[in-house]
A and B are shown apart, each in its own frame.
Chain A
């Protein structure tokens, strides 16, 4: 049946609320692995020693298996302890609604983000940064600048500032928020020092 519309976050929440109650351990240890094994066998997937597949059958069978996994199994909400389901048509509507082009950053420092398809001669966007690694407060700007100043880097990804004014940035404390806001200011300063103030983050 055709989808009514792409799912919104509200739609997803509503489906979780009305969804089937399942123990998280059943999801992790039974439902998920059982279905994955079934799909591996159904689609005869065997990657051998290849890192990047060279045959279309493996590529398309893997996609079909993953799509079937999403539709047949659904998603689990850990707080509600319930499962929501989505139809294949709704998955495709969601894909259709997704922008296929994005611009990261501002002004002359933007990075254009669009599909490459296969191994296009166009290099991917290079997002440089510590990717969530712990970084000291006193050198945070310099660490981020070390990425921003690299010519091959197009956009940035933050590290995690571990303290704010010396206080540990513990989860669920004001210092977590202070440190996060301080990270953003430091990244902005790093972009300016590198001569690329508009760079995306």
Chain B
């Protein structure tokens, strides 16, 4: 009989609670998944400016919760996602700093598998959205993460405001950044961030999937492809040798 469920090679996701907290629903699901031999991803998105307070404090908490995913909750990989309490994005200066430092610290001291997720402020078909996504991809790649997961454009809260084009730039930026010198990446991140960060006050909402793609053929519009090309030019001007 064919069923619709997950395979053991698909990730089963359990979320921790903010911060260094868990509930019984999580533990109960994990009891079943560990018994079944499922692949388990544990998620935790530390809030910069929340209970943990400042930059370094949030990073310390993030390292602790990352290790907790494996040592306490039998996770196979950890999905991070430092989020900014004011802008509700993962692409702000401080949240990029937390993610970059935490990944580098855990990566240098273990063989654990680390992922990060993407919540840009701007919506699809805007250059800001693509630049935010690319900048985080450069940070995550340079700091040694093994998986980039996204992207939840428009902060992940607006109906139908995500498309495959954002994942394309996430992947291409990662491919371009892989193997580059860390000092060069830090410079590139700073340059691109300075272009888009002023937009967090009122990020462009962008367009819905129906406006970005032909829904019948599932092909992106010429308008979105032009915006994408513009974002690539900006990234190249900032020093990222991104090809496509």
Contacts and interface: CB of A to CB of B under 8 A. Distances in A.
B213 A127 contact: no
A201 to B, nearest CB: 4
Contacts of B141: 119, 123-124
Interface in A145-194: 145-150, 152-153, 155, 157, 159, 162, 181-182, 184-185, 188, 193
Interface in B1-36: 4-7, 9-11, 17, 19-24, 27, 30-31, 34
Interface string A107-132: 00010011111111111111111111
B48 to A, nearest CB: 12
A114 B70 CA distance: 16
A64 B242 CA distance: 36
A106 B157 CA distance: 31
B57 A113 contact: no
Contacts of A23: none
Which of B60, B150, B189, B215 is packed against the most chain A CB atoms within 10 Å? B60
B172 A66 contact: no
Nearest to A13: B27
A146 B213 contact: yes
A149 B218 contact: yes
B72 to A, nearest CB: 5
B19 A79 contact: no
A157 B11 CA distance: 9
Contacts of A75: 20-22, 68, 72
A124 B147 contact: yes
B157 A123 contact: no
A70 B64 contact: yes
B84 interface: no
Q: Which of A52, A65, A98, A130 gathers the greatest number of chain B CB atoms within 10 Å?
A: A52
B212 to A, nearest CB: 9
Interface string B157-193: 1111111110110111011011111110110011000
Contacts of B110: 95
Contacts of A95: 67, 70-71, 110, 112
Contacts, number: 361
Contact of B22 (A77, A110, A127): A77
Interface in A62-116: 62-63, 65-67, 69-70, 73-80, 84, 86, 90-95, 98-100, 102-106, 110, 113-116
Size range of the chain B interface in the assembly: 35 or more
A40 B152 contact: no
B238 interface: no
Contacts of B54: 40
Nearest to A91: B71
A40 B56 contact: yes
Interface residues of A, number: 108
Contacts of B157: 133-134
Interface in A33-71: 33, 36-37, 39-40, 45-47, 49-54, 56, 58-60, 62-63, 65-67, 69-70
Contacts of A29: 51
Interface of A: 6-10, 12-13, 27-29, 32-33, 36-37, 39-40, 45-47, 49-54, 56, 58-60, 62-63, 65-67, 69-70, 73-80, 84, 86, 90-95, 98-100, 102-106, 110, 113-136, 139, 142-143, 145-150, 152-153, 155, 157, 159, 162, 181-182, 184-185, 188, 193, 200-201
Q: Which 7 A-B pairs have the closest CB atoms?
A: A66-B63, A94-B71, A152-B171, A146-B164, A128-B167, A121-B179, A126-B171
Interface of B: 4-7, 9-11, 17, 19-24, 27, 30-31, 34, 39, 51-57, 59-68, 70-77, 96-97, 100-102, 104-113, 115, 117-119, 139-154, 156-165, 167-168, 170-172, 174-175, 177-183, 185-186, 189-190, 209-210, 213, 215, 218, 220
